Structure 1
Amino acid sequence: MPTGLVALLDDVSVIARAASASIDDVGAGVAKAGSKAAGVVIDDAAVTPGYVTGFTPDRELPMIWRITKGSIFNKLVILLPIALVLSAFLPQAITPILMAGGLFLSFEGAEKVIEKLSGTKHGETLEDEIKDPVAFEKARTKGAIRTDLILSAEIMAIALSEVSDEGLVTRAITLAIVGLVITFCVYGAVALIVKMDDVGLHLARKPSEMAQAVGRFLLKAMPIVLKVLSFVGMLAMLWVGGGIILHGLEELGLPAPAHFAHGVEHAVAQASGALGGVTGWVSYAVVSALLGLVLGTIIALALHMFARDEGGETAH
């Protein structure tokens, strides 16, 4: 009996050590994957406010919460199982799927550039008379969740690449934690950004002169911040989309475009001295964005021509 108890305790000790090691693996994987995905997180945070600004204040947080739930669904219900299955049985399919997402982001970014340059609009916007506010809000929310799906796919792919050598359970737990943490960080930041003008209005009504000054500053600053974020969000779609394409081409055995982009990055970094890290990154982002703009414009023009042809045939 004592021998059996000792053996049982020994087994429990082995299991506990294994569990502890697994937790350490997950923690290390989350740290590595999260840091690698930071660039896409910034892009996600820049893109999303454009979908919810301009609505009445009472609708902003409900919209953000719906987008947050959609993002969690994207990551945990759609992308996590797909990532695990593909990594186990068809890892070579991950790159083409990501490139398709990169083309979609490039198209979305190029569409916004075309709208700004031409003054034309595709679909209802906040400047138009909204005939069905509920349907319009749903459409904007769905658009945000659709864009989030592409950015989330990139985040999950980056996270997966950092833990590809780990076991299936460790990979699954790491991806789930990274997905949840990033989602709440991004949409928590978005909520703060879009409600900051309400905070400014509240402070401006306080009796304290300091509070009033801060409130007035926020009220003046937030429209500018939101315009900048809208512009950055448009660029983010292009540089993330173009960056995905560059990386994908390199993975598929066509390294020349990526080598050119990295060559520009290194040349600018070396010429910039102490600011080399920043200017090098910016130059790579510019090359990626230009590629995204070219590819996205081609797709947008092709789709518009197809839509006109379809309309012409329907008219006959």
Structure 2
Amino acid sequence: MSGLLALLDDVAAIAKIAASSVDDVIGQAAKAGAKAAGAVIDDAAVSPKYVHGFSAERELPIVGRIALGSIKNKLIFLLPAGLLLSNLAPGLIAPLLMLGGGYLCYEGAEKVAHKLFPDAHHPDTVGLGPDDPAHLEEEKIAGAIKTDFILSAEIMTIALAAIPASSLVQEAVTLAIVAIGITIAVYGSVALIVKADDLGLLMSVSGRLRATRAAGRGIVRGMPGFLIGLTWVGTAAMLWVGGSIVVHGMEELGAGWLGHHIHDWAVAVGHLVPQAGAAVEWTAKAAMDGVFGLALGLALIPVAAWAIVPAWSAVSGLFARARG
């Protein structure tokens, strides 16, 4: 009997340790996901455009295929790469984060520049006629998954940097939870957004109550403005997160002068409103990070146009000729 009781005690102790580990993993995943919130907001804001122009019955299948591609990006490619990086070359995490932050700044600044100086054409649809919807759908999905790969890489790197030192298995499980949770949150939200107008139309036509029909009409009328607002929120989030990542990376690499100035200025602004000092200080810091992100992004636009894009096109052409 004493041996059985000792065994039960051991089992209970193991169960407590396991439960504690599960709690640790879930807690770390939640914190890591929160750190990546800015990139997540951008991902959710960018994705609805990929179903624009398709019939209503194709919207959810397209979102589903993009979500599946996002899961593959995160779990098959980015998670193993992130673990190797964390355990074999942790010093590269900060520079890679800064590269990702610079890309977010570039993307955000490009959207601002496009709004101020709209282009004469839209490259997403050049060369694709209206009589070829299947090919257009494949092109849109492929483009969305490529964009998702870059955003997912940023999300996973931010999450990896936020995870405290732990075992390889615990890091892997935490990153997997972050990857799956964020993908469900992003593309679940996208699915709701792209079908909201259909729901509103159904409510306005088939609702039994006058309030239901009125709410449906309100949804239909409000969705265009909501999508525009979501785009601007995503752009602001990109500039804020990208700018803050680069500033923080500069501090880690020994160039902390900009971060110190931003901190001091934000504290000074917070002191102007002592009743809400912390909130005002945070808002001021986020705004200054965003302004820096916009300036950096605008500076990167000509670099991308004159150097990175031609170089990438040349390399892609070489690989295409080699395969041919």
Per the normalisation by structure 1, the TM-score is: 0.83
1:178-201 superposed Cα distances (whole Å, 9 cap, x missing partner): 221121112111211221111110
Match of 1:222 in 2: 223
Q: 2:254 corresponds to which letter in structure 1? A: G
**Aligned equivalent of 1:119:** 118
Partner residue, 2:265 = 264
Name the structure 1 match of 2:42. Answer: 43
For 1:172, the equivalent position in structure 2 comes to 172
Pairing of 1:1-316 with structure 2 (within 5 A): 12=11, 15-121=14-120, 123-125=122-124, 130-131=129-130, 132-206=132-206, 207-306=208-307
Give distance in 2, aligned partners of 1:51 and 1:281.
34
Identity of aligned pairs, percent? 47
Deviates more, 1:109-118 or 1:90-99: 109-118
> How far is 1:218 from its partner?
0.6
Relative distance call for 1:33 and 1:234 in structure 2 (3 A) is closer
Distance 1:144 1:41, change over 3 A: same
Aligned equivalent of 1:314: none
- Could you list the per-position Cα deviations for residues 258-287 of structure 1 after superposition, in whole angstroms to 9, with x for gaps in the alignment? 222223332333323444444433333332
Check conservation: 2:97, 2:158, Cα contact below 8 A.
no
CA deviation map 1:199-236 (0-9, x unaligned):
11001102431111011111111110011112222233
Distance 1:239 1:189, change over 3 A: same
- Counterpart code for 2:105: S
Q: TM-score, normalised by structure 2?
A: 0.82
- Output one character per residue of 1:103-130: Cα deviation in whole Å (capped at 9) or x when no partner: 2222222222222222215643579985
Q: Which moved more, 1:158-167 or 1:84-93?
A: 158-167
| SS in structure 2 of the partner of residue 205 of structure 1 | helix
Closer, same or farther: CA 169–272 of 1 in aligned 2, 3 Å: same
Q: Relative to 1, partners in 2 of residues 1:54 and 1:287: Cα closer, same or farther, differing over 3 Å?
A: farther
- Size of the aligned set, in residue pairs, is 310
Contact 1:115 1:121 in 2 (8 A): no
Q: Is the 8 A contact 1:47 1:234 kept in 2?
A: no
Distance 2:122 2:112 in 1: 15
Q: Offset at 1:33?
A: 2.6
Q: How far has the Cα of 1:146 moved from its partner?
A: 3.4
Q: Is the alpha carbon distance of 1:302 and 1:41 closer, same or farther for their aligned partners in structure 2, counting shifts above 3 Å?
A: closer
Q: Secondary structure at the match of 2:266?
A: helix
Letter in 1 for 2:112: V
**Contact 1:197-1:222 within 8 A present in 2 as well:** yes
Query: Alpha carbons of 1:305 and 1:29: their partners in 2 closer, same or farther (altered >3 Å)?
Result: closer
Q: 2:80 & 2:185 partners in 1: Cα distance?
A: 22
Deviation string for 1:273-314 (max 9, x for gaps)? 4444444333333322322222222332233345799x9xxx
The one-letter amino acid paired with 1:244 is I
The answer on whether the counterparts of 1:98 and 1:153 sit within 8 Å (CA) in structure 2 is no
Aligned residue in 1 for 2:316: none
Distance 2:255 2:34 in 1: 27
Q: 1:249 to 1:30 in 2, by over 3 A?
A: same
Q: 1:130 to 1:248 in 2, by over 3 A?
A: farther
Tell me if the contact between 2:102 and 2:242 (Cα under 8 Å) persists in the aligned partners: yes
- Per-residue deviation, 1:93: 0.7
